Structure 1
């Protein structure tokens, strides 16, 4: 009797630690497992076997039951990889080690580009697809807030089947925190009156340059212009205001056609951000580099040439734009 008990114990121990055979779908290297809320331990075992684990379902049910952890199994999306044993499977389900995907939101993207990225993200439920921007912001607890620039650019992980609204909510909270932190570090001399104005200016800085060494200087130029009431004259804002009318070429008539975002025809900041600024652009807006420059022009290599007066700016334009 003792020998039989030892043999049974040994067989059970071996089975618990032995990799489960898997029935893989063509082209797949894992078994996808979806455990719904409220599923019993026996039901979980049924789902595991039905999904592709080639093990006796009664044995799996017995293991879950006698482990003492059956009630700790968490709902979610999982992947069973080759080499997974019944013991490892239960540990994974109890710990809630869900399969995570990720989506990256890039500095300088517009809200439209953010939505496109979310809708293309792997196994992310596109709940925003049928919603207007206003409805989306209401769902996020920000009714009446314009969505542009309100989400922090970063890489966000999510469980398979998660809602894109959940990702947006995390990105919105991240931007709130980053903006609050940046505003607390603002220069005492800043002409900006609120965190929202800082966000707007940061979005312009983000679109004007990707060069770390130039961000503070560009923030300084726009800060100087705001102080003296000089138009910001920033092309990215004009382009944003043109919307679908922009065909890739910014013409003189575009700079003369007044819109709320035309910073050539209007002084001050545009009414909303024009893109998502990152941390560096936020800091450049509230802590601009000390400079007397009022102008800058691209050198053609991604960097900018700064000038304190119009004569110097015209010389820079002739050199770097007109090639004179």
Structure 2
């Protein structure tokens, strides 16, 4: 068995004068989730398309299950499930008919294809709409059907390119549960997402891509340390004393606290500074309703690494 469920080394992809990928390395071990983050146009979707055998790299190599995605593309495709940013189902067919058709294209017997379709429609909460044309589905329902379609062939590697776009919070939680179930069964997932909390909740490893290059990788906790250790956040019980609390934080840490709505936050060097802030607040009689010492969020990491705030627009790349 290969050490990595999928691996890319030195991927380069050009579209005319635009270089979408400039030496990208990605890899994930079996049964893990690799989160891929980056600003719009960074190269995330292009990397997915190369790994999924939908685009040929100009330089570099990539493999899925040990099979080269160029030289052994048909064998690699047998292992892959893909949910892209666009819908992959036929609008005129019903949800059930779409999944049965996909099953038969994947050489499932007719009875097996019907059973697989019924199972996935139930799993994704689409049983009541199963016999209706996809044209009658809402955006969220179509997205769930796309996800179901990617799993018809029981792939060992699933590429999810921003899969939760269009899903309400409840359905997003269902998606997260399903991804965890897949990895528990040994499936490997590559997840690109515009929701940084999604990567934080699901990814074992994260790669940050910017301008066609991987500029950082590691576990979520490792990446959070990139921005300089821990931070103290607090909220005063009396909003009128927020500025006084800010002055305490400023004097103890030597740094300017950030104001976010009613919350104050400031980086600290170790937990001793946090205790110093708490002690002085108590001495001054400043009551707080929230007080925490924590690693920075992935939002802060994203900004620190790329210089770009989180962007919730759908990524547009030349390869889309």
* TM-score, structure 2 as length reference: 0.24
* TM-score, structure 1 as length reference: 0.24
> Whose strand proportion is higher, 1 or 2?
2
> Whose helix proportion is higher, 1 or 2?
1
**Rg larger in 1 or in 2?**
1
